[in-house]
Structure 1
Amino acid sequence: MERHDAIVIGAGLNGLVAAACLARAGLSVLVLDRASAPGGIACEHEVAPGYRLPRFTLGSGGLPPRIVADLDLPRHGLRFIRAEGGVTCFPGGEYHASYRDGVVQRREIARFSRVDADAFTRYRRDMLRAARVLAPLLAGPARPRRKGLFAGLRARLAKADRISAMAPADLHGLLRLATLPASEFLDSYFESPHVKAHLAAAAMMGATLGPCSPTSAARLVLPWLETAGDAMGGAPETLMPVGGPAALVSALRSVILAAGGQLRMEAEVTDIRIKDRKVQGVVLANGEEIGADAVFSGLDVKRSFLSLFQWKDLPEGLVERVGRVCMRGVAAKLNIALDAAPDFPGLPEGCPSLGGGLRLAAEIPAMQRAYDDWRARIPPRNPLIDVFIPSFLDPSLAPQGGHVLSALVQYVPDVLHEGPWSAERRKALGDLVMTRLAEVSPGMEKHVVAFEVLLPDDIENEIGLTGGDFSYGATTLDQLFFNRPFPGTGGAETPLRNFYLCSPSAHPGPLVMGGAGANAAAALLAAKRKEART
């Protein structure tokens, strides 16, 4: 029987990061995926011939610098484009742009309020301060790998010492971020509703929270996690791999193959072999068995345990714990091919912020009403829409003169209270988004070559992501850090020996791209080092 040191189920970004880390450490690694091409939710898709974009994700963002450096991805062809932080367009023609340059950013905010322009300096300082505290917590397991009463006690005391050593201002700021609604937190800095809505809109994308929900302020710090403290004094930038997410997937695949790892596509894992709560290998849909010293799952937590194991083989109570994990779809994805560049007459000509994306948003009370509709499972009436036109930065993604547009529509229920998503409702959602786009780019609808709407149910059916939840589990505080994927874990290790969770269902979730995969690989490598010492 074929055997490997590690098998990774799923060739999404986190699975590929885990496999790359393990392969570079000298382990024999096999990646298995039922799809025909790697990438998972970041897989490349032609919405029309020659028009390339990620089918399910927006397409912006990149891996943290530490992962890029550890895997030496630039040597495998990976390059990034740095863009401004994007622009928010409001009903009535107002807009608010973000700029990396502090002087330009201050001038932009001063259009709405000189008081807010001064306040942004304080806001930026506080965001960077919080990011410096949070970044180390997101870069490793939330729960120390300590076994035994005294070892666990020492770990907890060490964590308590770190908390007590924090400056009072840092601790106070973290507590406010962790508990307040984003709306109340922003009220303590700014007076302009447009400035507050601009910042809130970026934070709420992908969240199962509204801007007035308690604890939602914590999401405001996310764009700042990879921003250097000595940067240009403005807003966080937007990163995009040259060639889109497909280039990132290609670079990770190259690392795995160069280190002797293997990828097998169209190889669906249907069962995991287990004996005495110790994982021993996998079984494919064709009946083939492959042995492994360790198995990593890049699937969401529900699929990982409830579909890959016989429930009778799982520890008592585990099925119930997994079942209680909240996974709900909150966004739809639209992919649009255009035969000409969209024009945005309400923005300054050549506005550089447009390269970082475009958000169509209303003021915070309207955002909260959209969230309330989602909770009531009502089709969106005034959704928050996040738009990215990657071909502005990388023309190779479309034929000459053409462009591709990705849009995530926030607060789209996975299930409606009044019945399923019908073809008519799907069309109505697409028409609503197109109408909103035409308000900021008149005539765009005349240049549409192809247009598709993917609802949460489509995402679940096509790639097996429970509920179509892009976050692989709600990112509320009760499902983050040591509570992710469920209370008492906070890492990649599971109650089953040699079975690791490397998807965003594990800490740090979707908050750090590739972080769950890197943490899972580190957990196995640490265990092997410990075995070697004993």
Structure 2
Amino acid sequence: MERHDAIVIGAGLNGLTAAASLARAGLGVLVLDRNAAPGGLSASHEIAPGFRVPRYVLGAGGLPARLVADLDLARHGLRFVRAEGGVTIFPDGRYHASYRDGDVHRRELARFSRRDADAWTRYRRDMLRAARALTPLLEGAVEFPVTRGLSALRVRLGLADKVAAIDTDERRDALRLWALSAAEFLDSYFESDDVKAHLAAAAMMGGTLGPLSPASAGRLSTPWLAARGDAYGGAPDILLPHGGPAALTSALVAVIEAHGGRLRMDAEVTDVAMRDLKVRGVVLANGEEIGASVVLSGLDLKRSFLSLFQWKDLPDGLVGRVGRFRMKGATAKVNLALDAAPEFPGLPQGCPSVAGGLRLAGSIGEMQHAFDDWRARIPPRNPPIEVLIPSLSDATLAPAGCHVLSALVQYVPETLHDGPWNAERREALGDLVVARLEATSPGIAGRIVAREVLLAADLEDQIGLTAGDIAHGETTLDQMFVNRPLPGTGGYDTELENFHVCSPSAHPGPLLPGQAGANAAARVLALHRKRR
């Protein structure tokens, strides 16, 4: 029987990051995935000949700088383009742009409120402070063991030391950030409703909280986790992998293969082989068995346990605990191929913020109404939409003179209260998005040469993501930090020896792309060294 030191199930971003980390450490690694190409949520797709677009996600972002350096991804061709922080276009045609330059950004804020321009320094200072306090907790496990013993005591003391190292003011600010709603938190800094809506719209995308939901303010910190500089700078920039997310995937694959690892696509894992609660390997759909000293699952928590194991073989109560882990689809994806560049006459000529993305959103109240519709499973009527035109920064993604457009539609129910998502309703959603784009970019409808509308069910069917939840589980406070993936864990070990979760269902979730995979690999390597 074929055997490896480690098998990683799933060739998504976190699975590949875990595999690359393990391979660089000298372990024999095999990555298995049921799809024809790696990438998972970040997979690229040719919507029309020559038009490449990230199929399931927006396409911005990349691994944290430390991981890029640790994995030496630049040597394998990975490059990033830095873009301005994007622009929100409101229904009446007004706009609010974000700029990296602090002076320019404050002038933009002053168009809405001179007081808010002055308040920006305090807001940026506090966001940078929150990010500094949060980052050390994200770059490692935060498990808080419920068992007794010396090793468990050491873990508790280590976590206590991390918390104690945080400045008192920073701890106080962190509590506010993770307790208040986004609306309440922003009210304490700004007076302009447009400024607050601009910041809230960026934070709510991809999540299952509304701007008035308790603890939703925590999502405001995400763009700042990679930000640098002092309080006098502007808004965080946007990182775009040159070549799209597929370029990041290719670089990770290159690292794995350069260190002796292997990928097998079209290789679906249907069972995890186990004896005496110890995992021994995997079984593929074709019946092939492959042995391994350790197995890491890049699948979401529910898929990792409820589809890969016989429930009767799992420890008592585990199936119920996994079943209570909440996963909810809240987004849809619309991809467009355009035969010419879209124009935005309501924006300044050559506005650089467009390259960082467009948000089509109304007031905080209107966003909350869209959230309430989602909770009631009502078809979207006025959803927030985030748009990226990656070909503005990377001409390799489309034929000369042409462009691709990636739109993430927020607060789209996985299931509807009054019937299924049929073909007619799917196309109606696509029409709604195009109509919203047409209102800000007249003529764009006539430039469309191909269109694709993807719902939560498509993500579940095509890449096996439960409920189409792109966050791999709700990011409410009761499912984050020590409670992710299950209460009291905050780590990557499971109740099954030699089986680890390395997907965003584990800590830190989607807050830092690839970090769950890197953290899980670090845990596996620590156990490997201990055994040796």
Tell me which interval the TM-score lies in, with the shorter structure as reference length. over 0.9
What amino acid maps onto 2:508 in structure 1? P
Shift of 1:417: 0.7
- What is the CA–CA distance in structure 1 between the aligned matches of 2:114 and 2:429, rounded to whole Å? 38
Corresponding residue for residue 327 of structure 1:
327
Shift of 1:160: 3.5
**1:329-344 correspondence runs (5 A):** 329-344=329-344
Shift of 1:36: 0.7
CA offsets, 1:482-514, max 9 Å, x none? 111111211111110000111111111111100
Shift of 1:381: 0.7
Corresponding residue for residue 115 of structure 1:
115
Cα RMSD after superposing both structures: 1.3
SS of the residue corresponding to residue 302 of structure 1 reads helix
CA contact (8 A) 2:41 2:55 kept: yes
Corresponding residue for residue 386 of structure 2:
386
- What is the CA–CA distance in structure 2 between the aligned matches of 1:287 and 1:439, rounded to whole Å? 54
**1:43-442 correspondence runs (5 A):** 43-143=43-143, 148-230=148-230, 233-442=233-442
What amino acid maps onto 1:420 in structure 2? P
SS of the residue corresponding to residue 174 of structure 1 reads helix
CA offsets, 1:244-290, max 9 Å, x none? 00100100000000000000111111111000000000111111100
When residues 527 and 146 of structure 1 are mapped into structure 2, their CA distance, relative to the original with a 3 A threshold, is farther
CA contact (8 A) 2:300 2:466 kept: yes
- What is the CA–CA distance in structure 1 between the aligned matches of 2:486 and 2:28, rounded to whole Å? 30
Corresponding residue for residue 521 of structure 1:
521
* Structure 2 gaps, min length 5: none
Corresponding residue for residue 509 of structure 2:
509
SS of the residue corresponding to residue 45 of structure 2 reads strand
Question: Number of residues paired by the alignment?
Answer: 532
CA contact (8 A) 2:274 2:280 kept: yes
Identity %: 69
- What is the CA–CA distance in structure 1 between the aligned matches of 2:473 and 2:412, rounded to whole Å? 16
- What is the CA–CA distance in structure 2 between the aligned matches of 1:259 and 1:282, rounded to whole Å? 22
CA contact (8 A) 1:337 1:405 kept: yes
Shift of 1:222: 0.5
Q: TM-score, normalised by structure 2?
A: 0.98
- What is the CA–CA distance in structure 2 between the aligned matches of 1:326 and 1:394, rounded to whole Å? 37
CA offsets, 1:506-530, max 9 Å, x none? 1111111001110111011000111
SS of the residue corresponding to residue 109 of structure 1 reads helix
**1:451-462 correspondence runs (5 A):** 451-462=451-462
Question: Comparing 156-165 with 402-411, which one deviates more in the overlay?
Answer: 156-165
SS of the residue corresponding to residue 500 of structure 2 reads strand
Q: TM-score, normalised by structure 1?
A: 0.98
Corresponding residue for residue 21 of structure 1:
21
CA contact (8 A) 1:100 1:232 kept: no
- What is the CA–CA distance in structure 1 between the aligned matches of 2:475 and 2:93, rounded to whole Å? 33
Question: Comparing 425-434 with 216-225, which one deviates more in the overlay?
Answer: 425-434
SS of the residue corresponding to residue 377 of structure 2 reads coil
Shift of 1:207: 1.1
What amino acid maps onto 1:455 in structure 2? L
Shift of 1:49: 0.6
When residues 140 and 164 of structure 1 are mapped into structure 2, their CA distance, relative to the original with a 3 A threshold, is closer
CA contact (8 A) 1:60 1:239 kept: yes
CA contact (8 A) 2:121 2:231 kept: no
Shift of 1:192: 0.3
CA offsets, 1:435-471, max 9 Å, x none? 1100110010000000111010111111110001001
CA contact (8 A) 1:146 1:155 kept: no
Shift of 1:44: 1.0
- What is the CA–CA distance in structure 2 between the aligned matches of 1:463 and 1:255, rounded to whole Å? 23
SS of the residue corresponding to residue 125 of structure 1 reads helix
SS of the residue corresponding to residue 497 of structure 2 reads coil
- What is the CA–CA distance in structure 2 between the aligned matches of 1:238 and 1:193, rounded to whole Å? 24
CA offsets, 1:135-175, max 9 Å, x none? 01000001168974243234334433543454332122111
SS of the residue corresponding to residue 61 of structure 2 reads coil
* Structure 1 gaps, min length 5: none
